[in-house]
C-alpha cells in the first residue's frame, strides 16, 4: 500500500498522455510556450508499465488526461491495456469533448464507464472566443453521445472566471437539470502560461452555491468517487451540481492521488512544482523493485497541504503539461 507520512493512502493516479491540445483555452495555453519534443513524451508501453507497478503498490484508480487525450492515436488501446491491469478497478478520462462523439463507442468497448468533459460556456460564440476554435456543437454532440452510450456519470467540468463566464452560472445549473448530467464548478487556479491568471478572477464556490440555491432546490449528495467535489442533487432531475474549491478551502486532507506528467515526471502535489523524474528510470533499465522504491519514497514525502486557505502561489507549469 502507498501511504504518505500523514497517513493518506494513495490509490489514484492521473496520467497526462500528452501536453498537446486541439483547443487554445485562454486561461490554460499561451501560444508562446512550445510543446514538448515528442521524444520527451512517455510512450504507451512506459505508461502501462508505470501503471502496472503502481497497481502492484495498491493503486486502483486511473484517470487519463492531458493536454487532450483524444488527439492521441491509439488512446482506446491504452485505456484497454490499463483496464486489464490486475488491481485497476476504475479508469476514467478527462476530455474537451471535441472528438468524443466519434470515439466514445470505441472507448466504451475498451472499458470506459464514465467521462469528464470540460465546458466553460454554453454560448457558441463565447466558446470560440475562449477556446480559439469553433467546435461548440461537437462538444455538445460528445456529451449527448456519451449519455446515449450509457456512460455514467457524465460530468461537465466548468471553470468559473470572474468577468469571463460568471454570467452563466444559472445557465449551467439549468443545463445539469435538463440534460441529467453532473455539472461541477471548479475554482480558477494559479497555473502556468496564461497571462489571464490573477487572484481577482477567482469566484469562491460558496458564492456560486448561494446563487444557485436561490433558484434551485439542492440536496446534499454522496460523492460516489471519493473526489474533492462537494455534490448536490437537484430536485426533479438526475443531474447534480458540484463544487471543487481548491483555492477557497482545503481539499488536501482527503488527497489520495499523485500525477504522472506527459514527460514522465511524478508530481505528488498539484500545487507544488516539485516533480521527480521517473522517465529516467523507465528508460535506463531500472527494474520494478527500484521503481517501486522510488515511488514509495516520493509518496512518503508528499506535501501535507498546498498553502493556507485563500492564499495563492502561481505554479510554473500549465495544467496542459501537468495533466488537469
Ligand atoms: N483537454 C482536456 C480537457 O479539456 O478536459 C484535459 C486537460 S485540461 C488541462 C483539464 C482541465 O483543466 C480542464 O477542465 C480545464 O478547464 C482545467 N484547467 C486548465 N487550467 C486551469 C486553471 N488555471 N484553473 C482551473 N482549471 C484549469
Helix (H, G, I), strand (E, B) or coil at 14: strand
**Smallest CA separation from ligand 1 atom 11, residue:** 324
Does the structure show a pLDDT above 90 at 30? no
Alpha-carbon dihedral angle through residues 308, 212, 216, 237, given to the nearest 10 degrees:
-70
Q: What pLDDT, on a 0 to 100 scale, did the predictor assign at position 171? A: 98
**Which one, of 253, 264, 233, 249, lies nearest residue 304 by Cα?**
253
User: Where residue 159 falls among pLDDT bands split at 50, 70, 90?
Assistant: very high
Among the residue ranges 7-21, 98-112, 189-203, the one predicted with the least confidence is 189-203
Does 263 sit in the ligand 1 pocket, CB within 6 Å?
no
pLDDT in tens, 88-125: 999 999 999 999 999 999 999 999 999 999 999 999 99
Q: What pLDDT, on a 0 to 100 scale, did the predictor assign at position 295? A: 98
d(C-alpha 296, C-alpha 290), whole Å: 10
- Choices 3.20.20.70, 1.10.150.20, 3.40.50.1820, 3.90.1530.10: CATH for 12-322: 3.20.20.70
pLDDT in tens, 32-83: 778 899 999 999 999 999 999 999 999 999 999 999 999 999 999 999 999 9
d(C-alpha 179, C-alpha 222), whole Å: 20
8 A C-beta contact, residue 158 and residue 117 = no
Q: What pLDDT, on a 0 to 100 scale, did the predictor assign at position 94? A: 98
Q: What pLDDT, on a 0 to 100 scale, did the predictor assign at position 233? A: 94
Q: What pLDDT, on a 0 to 100 scale, did the predictor assign at position 135? A: 98
What predicted TM-score, i.e. pTM, was given to this entire model?
0.95
**Smallest CA separation from ligand 1 atom 23, residue:** 189
What is the 94 CA–ligand 1 centroid distance (Å)? 9
More confident residue, 259 or 311: 259
Question: How would you label 78-114 residue by residue, b for 16+ Cβ within 10 Å and e otherwise?
Answer: bbbbbbebeebeebbbbbbbbbbbebbeebbebebeb
**Smallest CA separation from ligand 1 atom 12, residue:** 324
> pLDDT > 70: what percent of the chain?
97
User: In testing the pocket of ligand 1, which one of 319, 321, 323 has its CB within 8 Å of the most ligand atoms?
Assistant: 319
Does the structure show a pLDDT above 80 at 180? yes
User: In testing the pocket of ligand 1, which one of 26, 159, 228, 317 has its CB within 8 Å of the most ligand atoms?
Assistant: 159
CA angle centred on 86, ends 85 and 89, rounded to 5°: 85
Does 94 sit in the ligand 1 pocket, CB within 6 Å?
yes
Does 95 sit in the ligand 1 pocket, CB within 6 Å?
yes
User: In testing the pocket of ligand 1, which one of 15, 16, 28, 187 has its CB within 8 Å of the most ligand atoms?
Assistant: 28
Does 99 sit in the ligand 1 pocket, CB within 6 Å?
no
Does 65 sit in the ligand 1 pocket, CB within 6 Å?
yes
Does 264 sit in the ligand 1 pocket, CB within 6 Å?
no
Does 96 sit in the ligand 1 pocket, CB within 6 Å?
yes
List, edge to edge, every strand of the sheet that includes 257-260.
Answer: 218-221, 230-234, 240-244, 182-187, 154-160, 115-118, 90-95, 61-65, 12-16, 257-260, 265-267, 276-277
**Smallest CA separation from ligand 1 atom 14, residue:** 118
> pLDDT > 90: what percent of the chain?
79
pLDDT in tens, 120-153: 999 999 999 999 999 999 999 999 999 999 999 9
Distances (CA, A) of 305 to 122, 140, 272, 276, 311: 34, 36, 9, 18, 12
Q: What pLDDT, on a 0 to 100 scale, did the predictor assign at position 312? A: 66
Amino acid at each position: 500500500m502507498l501511504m504518505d507520512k500523514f497517513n493518506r493512502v494513495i490509490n489514484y493516479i492521473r496520467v497526462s498522455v500528452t501536453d498537446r491540445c486541439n483547443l487554445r483555452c485562454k486561461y490554460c495555453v499561451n501560444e508562446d510556450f512550445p510543446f514538448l519534443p515528442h521524444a520527451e513524451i512517455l510512450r504507451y508501453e512506459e505508461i502501462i508499465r508505470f501503471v502496472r507497478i503502481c497497481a502492484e503498490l495498491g493503486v486502483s484508480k486511473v484517470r487519463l488526461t492531458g493536454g487532450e487525450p483524444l488527439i492521441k492515436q491509439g488512446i482506446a488501446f491504452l485505456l484497454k491495456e490499463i483496464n486489464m491491469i490486475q488491481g485497476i478497478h476504475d479508469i476514467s478520462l478527462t476530455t474537451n469533448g471535441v472528438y468524443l462523439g466519434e470515439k466514445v463507442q470505441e472507448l466504451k468497448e475498451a472499458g470506459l464507464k464514465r467521462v469528464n468533459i470540460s465546458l466553460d460556456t454554453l454560448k457558441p460564440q463565447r466558446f470560440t472566443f475562449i477556446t480559439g476554435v469553433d467546435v461548440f456543437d461537437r462538444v455538445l454532440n460528445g456529451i449527448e453521445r456519451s449519455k446515449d452510450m450509457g456512460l455514467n456519470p457524465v460530468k461537465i467540468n466548468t471553470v468559473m472566471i470572474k468577468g469571463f463566464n460568471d454570467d452563466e452560472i444559472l445557465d449551467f445549473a439549468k443545463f445539469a437539470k435538463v440534460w441529467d448530467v453532473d455539472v461541477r464548478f471548479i475554482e480558477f487556479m494559479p497555473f502556468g502560461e496564461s497571462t489571464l491568471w490573477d487572484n481577482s478572477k477567482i469566484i469562491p464556490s460558496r458564492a456560486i452555491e448561494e446563487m444557485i440555491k436561490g433558484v434551485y432546490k439542492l440536496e446534499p449528495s454522496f460523492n460516489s468517487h471519493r473526489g474533492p467535489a462537494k455534490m448536490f442533487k437537484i430536485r426533479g432531475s438526475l443531474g447534480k451540481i458540484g463544487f471543487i474549491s481548491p483555492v477557497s478551502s482545503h481539499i488536501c486532507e482527503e488527497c489520495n492521488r499523485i500525477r504522472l506528467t506527459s514527460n514522465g515526471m511524478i508530481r505528488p502535489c498539484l500545487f507544488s512544482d516539485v516533480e521527480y523524474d521517473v522517465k529516467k528510470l523507465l528508460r535506463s533499465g531500472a527494474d520494478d523493485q527500484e521503481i517501486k522504491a522510488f515511488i514509495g519514497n516520493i509518496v512518503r514525502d508528499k506535501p501535507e497541504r498546498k498553502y493556507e486557505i485563500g492564499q495563492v502561489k502561481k505554479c510554473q507549469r500549465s495544467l496542459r503539461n501537468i495533466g488537469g
